[in-house]
A and B are shown apart, each in its own frame.
Chain A
Amino acid sequence: MIPTLTTERLTLRGPDARDIPFLRDFYASDRSKFVGGPKTAEDAWRQLATEIGHWTLCGYGRWIVEADGVQVGLIGLWNPEGWPEPEIGWDLFDGAEGKGYATEAARAARDYAYGTLGWSTAISLVAPGNDGSARVAERLGAVKETEFDHAKFGPLTIYRHPAPEAL
C-alpha cells in the first residue's frame, strides 16, 4: 500500500486510474517540457503506470497531490535506473503554481524520506531554464551542487537538500 500523507492544505496519495486525464493534460502541455514532455496520450498513460510501478520496485515513489480534492501535481521520491541518487521531484499541473503547493508537498515528501525511510541525504534535479523549480529547491534550503548529464534529459543541475540533522 502506498502511504497517504497530509499537510496543512494538501493530501498526498498513491497515483491511480483517476489521474489519467491530469497526466494526459500535463504531458500534452508546454509545462512538461522540463520533465521529459510533451508526451502523447499513450506515453502519458505509460508514465502513470510507471509512477505506480516505481513504488513496487523501490518501495517509494511520487504521490498525486490534491488540494481541496483536486489533483494539482505529482510530487515525491524518484530513483529510476541511471538516476544519480534518490531525488525529491515535483511537477505541478496547470493552474496550481504560485500557491506554494510544490514546496509544501516536497517538504512532506522529504520528511517522509528522512523520517520513515531513513534517507541520510537527498537531491533534486532541475533542468536549465526551469526557474520556478529552482526557486522551490531554494525555498526548501537545497543548494546548487554540481551538474549531471542524463542520457535522455541532457544536463541537469543537482541541488542538495539539507541533511536530516540540519532541519
Chain B
Amino acid sequence: MGHRDIPVLETGRLILRGPEPEDYPNFKATFTSYRARFMGGPLNPYETWMLYAAEIGHWEIRGFGMWMIHDRVTDETLGMAGGWQPAVWPEREIAWIIWPEKAGKGYALEATNAARQFFYDEQGWDGAVSYIDPKNLDSIRLAERLGAKIDKAAKSIDGHDVVYRHPTAAELKDSQIADGIALEIGHYQDPLFKPKGWAID
C-alpha cells in the first residue's frame, strides 16, 4: 500500500518485482554485511530498515526504482537491480546488488539488462549512468559487460565514485553489445559446456 503499482519484469530465469515486506530479511542479511561496503554499508539494523523503506518510497517519488530479483522457479530473492536517484544524484543511475551467495551466475547482468531496456522502452530514458566505487571490481566488470564506459567529464556523486555511462537507447538498438549481452545471458541460462566436478587449478 502507499506506493504506485510497480511493474513486473520477466526474463529467462528471473522475475523482477517491487520490494515486498517479506523480502526484508534477505535485504538485511546483505546490507548488514561486508558485501554492502560499496553501497554505504555495512549498516546497522535500524539504518537497514530505513533504507529498505526508502527503496519502496523511491518508486513513489520518482516513478522508478529498484526491483527485487526473484528466481522464477523457486521465487527466492537473489538481489536487487533497477534505477536509483535520490536528491543531489547528478543523473539517473542504473544500480544492482546480488546477495553474496548468489554471485557468479550472471543474475545481475540478466536483471540489469532487463531493467535498462524497460527504462529505455517504457519510460523514455535516453541514457543512464552507474556510479561505482573504483575498488568494486565486480561491478566495474558488469558495467563494462553492459557496454558502459568511463565518463571522466560527468559529475560524480561525491568525487569518490567513477561514472560509467551506459550506451544510449539508440546506441544499444541492434548493436554488437546488445547481441553480446544476449549471448552471455544465454550461456548462463543454458551452458554449452557443463563441467563435471571442480576445476583442479
Candidates B24, B48, B61; contact of A17 at CB < 8 Å: B61
Nearest A residue to B53, CB-CB: A53
Contact between B45 and A82 (Cβ–Cβ < 8 Å)? yes
Which of B44, B46, B55 has the largest count of A CB atoms less than 10 A from its CB?
B46
Given contacts A20-B61, A49-B57, A50-B57, contact A44 B52 (CB under 8 A): no
Given contacts A1-B2, A61-B2, A80-B46, contact A52 B56 (CB under 8 A): yes
Contact between A52 and B3 (Cβ–Cβ < 8 Å)? yes
A41 within 8 A of B: yes
A160 within 8 A of B: no
Q: How far is the CA of A52 from the CA of B53 in the complex (A)?
A: 7
B residues near A24, Cβ cutoff 8 Å: 87
Contact between B3 and A151 (Cβ–Cβ < 8 Å)? no
Q: How far is the CA of A2 from the CA of B47 in the complex (A)?
A: 24
B21 within 8 A of A: yes
Name the prevailing secondary structure of the B interface residues.
helix
Name the prevailing secondary structure of the A interface residues.
helix
Minimum Cβ distance to chain B for residue A63 (Å): 11
Bitwise, A21-42 to B at CB < 8 A (1) or not (0) is 0001000000000000000111
Within 8 A of A (CB), among B40-68: 44-58, 60-62
Given contacts A42-B88, A54-B53, A82-B45, contact A49 B61 (CB under 8 A): yes
Q: How far is the CA of A52 from the CA of B54 in the complex (A)?
A: 7
Residues of B within 8 A of A (CB): 1-3, 21, 24, 44-58, 60-62, 86-89
Residues of A within 8 A of B (CB): 1-2, 14-17, 20, 24, 40-42, 44-57, 59, 61, 80-82, 150-152
